[in-house]
Structure 1
């Protein structure tokens, strides 16, 4: 697994899932629940990871998005 994006924005995360799904890339989201657990805002960055074979394609698909974390 390889991290391809990091964000604390739930709207951006939803869009990332959509983009990668449309590209046929299986997406795994790490730390999503931990990031929002205390209700004061995301203290832990949410990480988007994909299989290593899909990492370059995923980065290309997400190249126009700005990283948050």
Structure 2
């Protein structure tokens, strides 16, 4: 799995989810339920995870949407 973004911003998470869903890129949001543990303060960031095979296409999708700077840098581990 590849971590596409990590953020505390629920609006950004929702926007990225919409972009990925509309492009048929599978994803899941990790740490989404941690808000229960932290008392809904928004301190712990959520991570949008995608398959490594979709990483380049998803990064380009974010770039085209004007939020490419939000994407995590590509990992050197292949």
Q: TM-score range by the shorter chain?
A: 0.7 to 0.9
* TM-score, scaled relative to structure 1: 0.82
How many aligned positions are there? 66
Rounded Cα–Cα distance in structure 1 between residues aligned with 2:32 and 2:2: 16
Report which of the two has the higher share of helix.
2
Which runs of no fewer than 5 residues in structure 1 stay unpaired? none
Equivalent residue, structure 2, for 1:26: 26
Rounded Cα–Cα distance in structure 2 between residues aligned with 1:13 and 1:61: 14
- Which structure has more RCO (C-alpha within 8 Å, separation ≥ 6)? 1
CA RMSD of aligned residues (A): 1.4
Structure index of larger Rg: 2
Equivalent residue, structure 2, for 1:55: 55
Rounded Cα–Cα distance in structure 2 between residues aligned with 1:21 and 1:40: 25
Rounded Cα–Cα distance in structure 2 between residues aligned with 1:59 and 1:4: 7
User: 1:1-69 alignment to 2 at 5 Å?
Assistant: 1-34=1-34, 36-37=35-36, 38-39=38-39, 41-63=41-63, 64-65=66-67, 66-67=69-70
Which runs of no fewer than 5 residues in structure 2 stay unpaired? 71-78
